[in-house]
Structures are given as C-alpha cells and as structure tokens.
A and B are shown apart, each in its own frame.
Chain A
Amino acid sequence: MNYYKPATFDEAIAIASGAEGITRILAGGTDVLVQMRSDIVTPDTLIDIKAIDGVKDITRAEDGGWTIGVAVCGAEISEHPDLPREWPGVVEAIGLIGSTQVQGRATPVGNLCNASPAADSVPALVAAGAEVTVQGPNGPRRVAVEDIPTGPGRTSLQKGEIITALHLPPRGKGGGDAYQRFIPRTEMDIAVVGCGVNLRVSGQVITEARMALGAVAPTVERVRGAADALVGTKLEDSALDALADLAQAACNPIDDKRGTVKFRTHLAGVYARRVAKIAYERARAAQ
C-alpha cells in the first residue's frame, strides 16, 4: 500500500487519477482502517487529505449557509458555536456516528463516501438539502448529497474525483430539522432505521418539508412525497398518518442480521412520526 499526504486537492486528484488498483481517501479513517484490519479492503493507494489547506475549517458561506471542510470530525461539528443551533438534526445525526472516540476522527463526508445505507449523517443531510463539491480531473461541480451513494459501498464519484467540501444551505426563518434512529442498544450500533426530517413553518403551518430514511433501501432514501403530505398542514394526526404511510411505502429493505423487512418497515413509520414532531417543534420555535 502506498501512502500519500498531498498538500493540495489538485495534487490529490492527480495521485488518484494516476493510481492503479484500489484507491481510498483517508480523512477520519474510521471506515477505511476497519476494512483494512478486517481484510475486507486493502487499498493500493491511500491518500491522506488532512494536510490540505482548509479541510479542518467550518465557515459561513456567502449565501448564509455553511461550508464544512472534509476533514472536520464529528466532535468539532458538535462543538461548533453556531451549527448545532441552526442545524440540530444534522449535528445530532453526525454525533450519533460511533463512540466518543470515533467522533474524534470520523467525518460526515467519510460517512457519505462509505455509502452505507445505514449511515447516520446522510438522511439528515439529504433532508437538509446539503450538497458537496466534487472535484476531479475535469474541475469542480456541486452535487446533492443524495446523488452521491448509488448502492451499498458504491458512489457516483468517478476515478480521480474527490469530495472537497460539504455545504449546508442557509437555515432561514422557521426552519427545524431532526434525526433519530433505532438501534438495539443505546449506543455503538448501526442504525436499523434512521430518519431525518427538515421542515419550515409559517406560524403553525408547514411550508416546506423534506424527509429521508436510512437503512430501508440500498441507499439512503429521500421520501419525495413528504412535502405533499406535510405542506399546508399543522402536523395533525392525519398528516402524520400520511407521512408514516409514505415512509413505509418508500421502504425497500433487506432481511439481515440487524433487522427484518417487516421490522424495518414498521420502524420507518414509527420514526417518521417521532422525528417529524421534533422537527416541527424546532421549526415553530425558530420563527
């Protein structure tokens, strides 16, 4: 295995473009090292991007949103003075990845690129409408988070392409998001179902709504009908029923050691309701 520690993304892209065999980007390393230790993947080329300028920064974007460097770890995001207030759901979701120790290393972009359908941060990021900058031999482009994973362990990134930043949109007035997941223990588990909801309200009425589910399909699943179910409602029981039905209908899970199809589908409905209620309360409080 060859280890590189480039000083710029251009240099990193050049290394990745020219590499033979398996290439992995090393930021927090909490997935890559586990795969190496378990003999699942031994990269031929490992590109450590932590020496690149700006990768550890969290900055306010011109549009009022946020740009998060690709080597910013979960703990740094949770400790940020403003982010948790503006995007509590996203920050909670990122904070649920692994233990305190893992939080000291793991990054949301790593969580995204690992492309696990059960990744905790991804449903919250999708619900938030987050984007990433993808840079490659042909220059940079902005891509919606939901378009990065294409299947378990697979992404839409092409050879030589690297994610160079994570972008959260401006929060704006009356916005609230939330994320929860079901796990058998209280910590340290992979989500059996994860649910992120992001709402905007005007008074008591929902004006915007996005929902995404984790661990119920080959990729994190954005439930596109959520807006239809919620916009214009005050999250009455009928709206929650409709949302839960949509969530369950969106499920296309597998039976595995962590949960059955039936159980996951059931939980998707339970968590759609629970998480929507939290997001709604937050949105109303943020006016």
Chain B
Amino acid sequence: MKKIHVTTKINGDTVEFLCDPRETLLDVLRDRLGLTGAKEGCGTGDCGACSVTVDGRLTCSCLMLGVEAEGHEIGTVEGIADGEELHPLQKKFIEYAALQCGICTPGILVAAKNLLERNPDPTEEEVRYWLAGNLCRCTGYDKIIRAVLDTAAEMREAS
C-alpha cells in the first residue's frame, strides 16, 4: 500500500506527512513528527497517556488513524505552554507534586486543560470522572485532583 499524504495543523503549525493508513495518529506524532510528548501506554484507548485534542475535542491519539488528521487541528502537550511561559496547570502540577514518574502527565495535562476550557469551575467529582480515562499508577490521583481544582480556582480569579 502506498503511503497517503496528509496535511494537518499541529499546535497551530501546518504540518504535512506521509503515512501508511494503518498508522495511528500517535504513531505519526511520535515516529514521523518527533512529538514524543504523547505516550503509548496501551494502544487501545484504556490509559489516556496519548491524549490529544482534535478540533478542540479530547481524544486518544492511539484511537485515530494518522490519515484521519487531514484537515483537522491537533493539540498536544507540546503546545500547552505559551512560549517560555508554562500553562497554569503545568505550574500547579509541579508545585503540587501531581506527578511521580511523569509518564501519564502529558495526557493528564491535555485532558485537564480541555476540561477547564469547557468547565472553569468543576467539582471534585467532575474532575475525577473527566480524568477517569487517564490512568496514573503512581499518585493515587490525590495530588492530581487537587492541582486541577486549585488551577481552576486560580484561573477563575485571574479572569
């Protein structure tokens, strides 16, 4: 099978690539585009470590083919910070020690940012259910949930 040419936007930049139709968006991001922030924890949509946004919608990049990115806008963890300025969630995650090993962190940040864009004042329960598809084996989620809730509070105050 010949490779397919795809034009897409990633973190605001137009990107073109060739890929085999069997390759997932995650494969393409990591192996073809050098964006290794999204991680493959399972490849079956069960762990959320590969979370990205597609036209602002939270998605597992392992559950989407690279060819499906044609014409869409992809957001990854690499696009969360604004230049040298970290996103408030990124700062809070460091401050709260909301990560231990850090492998789930990119996916959780992408997911949490997407939540706060939709719901600036989530309850603890809403955060927990929103992030239920992002597995973390290290933290027991406690510090992650606190970091998200505190970021939300701080962003509400700032706005």
Contacts and interface: CB of A to CB of B under 8 A. Distances in A.
Q: State yes or no: do A and B touch (Cβ within 8 Å).
A: yes
Interface of A: 1-3, 5, 26, 28-30, 33-34, 36-38, 42, 46, 48, 50, 73, 75, 98-102, 104-105, 186-188
Given A1-B21, A1-B22, A38-B44, A187 B133 contact: yes
B132 A33 contact: no
Contact of A104 (B22, B24, B59, B62): B59
Contacts of A187: 129, 132-133
A229 to B, nearest CB: 34
Interface of A is mostly: loop
A29 B54 CA distance: 14
A100 B63 contact: no
A265 B140 CA distance: 34
Given A34-B63, A36-B22, A29 B68 contact: yes
Interface residues of B, number: 31
Interface string B49-71: 00100100111101111011010
27 contacts: A1-B1, A5-B70, A28-B63, A33-B24, A34-B44, A36-B22, A37-B44, A37-B62, A46-B21, A48-B68, A73-B57, A98-B133, A99-B45, A99-B46, A99-B60, A100-B111, A100-B131, A101-B45, A101-B60, A104-B54, A104-B58, A104-B59, A105-B60, A105-B63, A186-B132, A187-B129, A187-B133
Contacts of B132: 99-100, 186-188
Given A3-B4, A30-B45, A187-B132, A75 B68 contact: no
A102 B60 CA distance: 7
A33 B62 contact: yes
